[in-house]
Structure 1
């Protein structure tokens, strides 16, 4: 639908020589539908497949949680999505430990003792410059951790400064993909993609929700009485252009209106953020929590992930969405399935 506004994928983040990208956020599924692990004979010859399978088996045998995956596959000849994600995390963690990450390892702490000392210092110092430097020095250690199925759930316990020091997601993302990739969305969306999205949206069958978003996207903040501001409205229009696909056992299709609720939620100023986190009863992929007097007057954004609220660097809605996108890679978490089309478009076309 947006082919006319999509640049060559040779400029995309997917082709930025990063193994983390292709293995981290491409796994958007949340269901337990099974998949069969059978490489296509048209893509690899049989000898290569046998060698690759043996290498994977050897890695899994040596890593925590690997035997469980091998047992499951031996029994069913297939893996559930959740089991497959665990396997990917194990393999990526192995690759990181063996070959490193795409960035230079210069100034990285290399021993467990050094990393633990830096982590202890970060938990107690109030010097933001020291915290950011130690976070930079422990980047390799942290990436191995988020890709480890056993240790990934402890990331905010080990690195709690994500929860009170702004800019750490941006720093890790830049270390992963480089300073030239990181600013692409904020550079390209306002100047090229935004207007194209508005033009495409006008051609859709109009509903009241779509009309409201179009109106808000084309209005100034002063003109808005209710609804999201013009920048976040332009992002939300993408969900109408790329609505959720039916999935899961019931194959029910979620409306764009409900899918938007998976991307951003609003609470009024004075409402407890902790209370919002306590009210979460099910597992959800990262989303934005907007705090303000009304949707068009937000003074603070948070990224909610695993019942934690990470403060965004800026109250600007576009910058906060950019940070939300990057959080998927920094924490090696999958896209929400109902937003996968939107995220994949941004991943391949904009970044």
Structure 2
């Protein structure tokens, strides 16, 4: 079995297998260590851009070897499984199920009422097309919409070294690394954190961002200070996590109230 063989012969892998044998589960720290071992092996064996089939092979191997960690509601990535274990399947699926049909049209409606700028116009065009990028950040360090996007998604040309990118990476918070020949046509996405790459399992930008958001909870990570209001809005309004317990700006509360009390459909 691929995953088992890798863990048996890689440093620290035997401890992962032993912990599961003794407890029938894995702590967060052990899961993270296991992911790092397997991702490193996958890249060493299949190169910097392993195919979707290869990534799925490793993901399938994990749930076969550790069946008590299997998520019966989802066949997506390991981050998605861990997030569902922390919360539940309904919360885990909220962004993917409700963004296109409810949140996106309402966010677009609210954005059109703001003062028009070049950045806002560009984001609206993306949102009304197939992408989804409407941001807010009050009470945190002020940041433009374009700068916010750059903190969430960074493009990396597939012909360049991923190791060099990680060496030069100064981001202290997780972000998506989009890899491809050009920005308009990326081949794959990774969640980048602590100078490690976790391949995304989704094949759409919305799903990849869903995994990025969930990684904060799976790995117990804090939000980027400049994006706290944005992430808090998603956490409470979209995923419905800790509503009333999170510190929210009045603007976030007001936006949530307006979004959740209307039904909008785009023509």
Q: Does 1:292 align with 2:176?
A: no
Q: Please name the residue that 2:7 is paired with.
A: 123
Pair 310,160 (structure 1): closer, same or farther in 2 beyond 3 Å = same
For 1:338 and 1:180, how far apart are their aligned partners in 2?
Answer: 29
- Work out the CA distance in 2 between the residues paired with 1:325 and 1:297: 23
Q: Match for 1:170 among 80, 91, 108?
A: 80
Q: 1:255 aligns to what?
A: 144
Q: Is the counterpart of residue 190 in structure 1 residue 100 in structure 2?
A: yes
Structure 1, 316-325 or 168-177: larger mean CA deviation: 168-177
SS of 2:237's equivalent in the other structure is helix
- Structure 1 gap ranges (5+): 1-118, 126-132, 147-153, 220-229, 248-252
Q: Determine the structure 2 residue equivalent to 1:211.
A: 121
Normalised to the residue count of structure 1, the TM-score between the two structures is 0.50
Cα 1:139–1:328 shift into 2, 3 Å: farther
C-alpha contact 1:290 1:301 (8 A) present in aligned 2: yes
1:342–1:268 CA distance, 2 compared to 1 (3 A): same
Q: Is the 8 A contact 1:170 1:326 kept in 2?
A: yes
Map 1:39-58 to 2 at 5 A.
none
Cα 1:135/1:200, change in 2 over 3 Å:
farther
| 1:199 corresponding residue in structure 2 | 109
Is 1:331 the equivalent of 2:211? no
Q: Distance in 1 between matches of 2:227 and 2:212?
A: 13
Q: Distance in 2 between matches of 1:135 and 1:262?
A: 36
Tell me if 1:142 matches 2:24: no
Partner secondary structure for residue 315 of structure 1: coil
Deviations 1:4-30 (A, max 9, x none): xxxxxxxxxxxxxxxxxxxxxxxxxxx
Distance 1:134 1:325 in 2: 30
1:61-83 CA-partner distances (Å, limit 9, x unpaired): xxxxxxxxxxxxxxxxxxxxxxx
Greater C-alpha radius of gyration: 1
- Distance, in Å, in 1 between the alignment partners of 2:159 and 2:230 is 32
What is aligned with 2:154?
A: 265
**Match of residue 161, structure 1, among 38, 48, 62:** 38
- Taking the TM superposition and a 5 Å limit, the aligned residue runs for 1:235-250 are 236-237=133-134, 239=135, 242-247=136-141
1:4-153 paired onto structure 2 within 5 Å: 123-124=7-8, 141-143=26-28, 145=29
Cα displacement (A) at 1:265? 0.6
Q: Residue 112 of structure 1 aligns with which residue?
A: none
Separation of aligned partners in 2, 1:342 and 1:208: 20
1:180 aligned counterpart, secondary structure = helix
| 1:321 pairs with 2:209 | yes
Cα distance in 2, alignment partners of residues 291 and 276 from structure 1: 11
Aligned length: 197
Q: Secondary structure at the match of 2:179?
A: strand
Q: Which runs of 5+ in 2 are unaligned?
A: 10-16, 43-57, 60-76, 240-267
Cα shift at 1:346: 1.2
CA distance in 1, matches of 2:83, 2:20: 11
